[in-house]
Amino acid sequence: MAVVLSGIQPSGSLHIGHLVGALENFVALQKGNTVFYMIADWHALTSKYNQAEVIQPSVYELAATFLAVGINPASSSIFVQSAVKEHSELQLLLSMTTPLSWLERVPTYKEKQANSNADLNSFGFLGYPLLQAADILMYQADKVPVGEDQLFHLELTREVARRFNHIFKTNFFKEPQAVLTPTAKVLGLDGRKMSKTYNNCIYLSDEDSAIKEKCTRQMISDPKRVKKSDPGNPEECPVFGYHKIFSSQVDQEEISQGCRTASIGCFDCKMKVAENLIVKIAPVRERAQSSLRNPKSLDDILMDGNGQARKVAQGTMDKVREIIKLPKF
């Protein structure tokens, strides 16, 4: 069986981009694979080091969301990164053979450093992608379902594995493959990348009324269609982009026709997006809320997952120490 591993940072507020860009893929990949889904709390710490108290509630929220979207803890290991200390040891050992320049040239490194309010001029933040490489290589993952923004980190992981294998004349580490979702990227309400920083997200925790408000009041549509009597071109409208992802074929055809013939107004069109989003989000939100009311059972699931992950991680580290010929004490 192929091994699948992925991780998400518990930095609060999962949005619909996470749902279609990552979580739906996580669910689909459970079939026929050995699966590890990790809550990357140490990664969250690289930028939230002075607000670590926000991490714990987000860990629970993320665990609850994993369950709510259909990740089955009986077959998939859901675990917390910091509960498996071996990740940190592997990052340290890999750091010996990873050139500094490889980390400095990661595009997200300079970009995030420049855009963040926190001072990210730290060793920990520079090491972010190497910690991610350790997460992946630890489980000998074959497939890593991620969003497009993570492709560089995956490439770096492959290079780190290759260099380790070369230096220690081994073929121990496998080179993982990224798995992208087939769905187009979900843009934010303002047409930019969906991101908390831009305040343009629809969150998985949004109530139905908030979803309707956001869609009808904040979602931008084709500025060329000014009046309802103007025929529009759905292919040029970001609202139709949402229909393509969240609406049925029948709805899409009806909207497309209605827009081109000016028989439907933009308000109704946006309301339809909202309704279709609600069909998808409301059950996830409700299931997540109900697991959050029972933190004890979330703890049990995480404890189980941590144990399963730790067992694999310990095996990997025994092997890695042996390959490096570390002294045993």
Contacts to ligand SF4 by CB under 6 A: 221-222, 225, 232, 234, 237, 239-240, 259, 264, 266, 269-270
Describe the strand order of the beta sheet including 33-39 as a list of residue ranges: 76-80, 33-39, 2-8, 143-145, 177-179
**What is the Rg, in whole angstroms, of the alpha carbon atoms belonging to the chain?**
22
Task: Answer whether 138's CB lies under 8 Å from 86's CB.
Answer: yes
Is 40 a binder of ligand TRP (CB under 6 A)? yes
Is 9 a binder of ligand TRP (CB under 6 A)? yes
Tell how strand 177-179 and strand 143-145 pair up. parallel
Query: Which entry of ligand SF4, ligand TRP, none binds 194, CB below 5 to 8 A by partner kind?
Result: none
Other beta carbons within 10 Å of 51: 12
Instruction: Give the single-character DSSP code of 204.
Output: T
Q: State the Cα–Cα distance between residues 305 and 295, nearest whole angstrom.
A: 15
Short-list 107, 157, 166, 113, CA closest to 132: 157
CB of 281 to ligand SF4, least distance (A): 20
Query: Which entry of ligand TRP, ligand SF4, none binds 10, CB below 5 to 8 A by partner kind?
Result: none
Task: Answer whether 301's CB lies under 8 Å from 67's CB.
Answer: yes
Is 77 a binder of ligand TRP (CB under 6 A)? no
Tokens, residue 63:
């665990």
Q: State the Cα–Cα distance between residues 123 and 115, nearest whole angstrom.
A: 18
Per-residue x/- mask for ligand TRP, residues 129 to 148, rule CB under 6 A?
---x--xx-------x-x--
Query: Which entry of ligand TRP, ligand SF4, none binds 266, CB below 5 to 8 A by partner kind?
Result: ligand SF4
SS3 state of residue 5:
strand
Tokens, residue 140:
């000998």
Of 3 and 5, the one with the shorter C-beta distance to ligand TRP is: 5
SS3 state of residue 72:
coil
Is 20 a binder of ligand TRP (CB under 6 A)? no
CB of 21 to ligand TRP, least distance (A): 10
Of 130 and 264, the one with the shorter C-beta distance to ligand SF4 is: 264
**Which position among 47, 65, 150, 200 is part of the footprint of ligand TRP (CB under 6 A)?**
150
SS3 state of residue 235:
helix
**Which position among 15, 43, 48, 158 is part of the footprint of ligand TRP (CB under 6 A)?**
43
Per-residue x/- mask for ligand TRP, residues 84 to 123, rule CB under 6 A?
----------------------------------------
Summarize as ranges the residues that interact with ligand TRP (CB under 6 A): 5-9, 40, 43, 132, 135-136, 144, 146, 150, 153
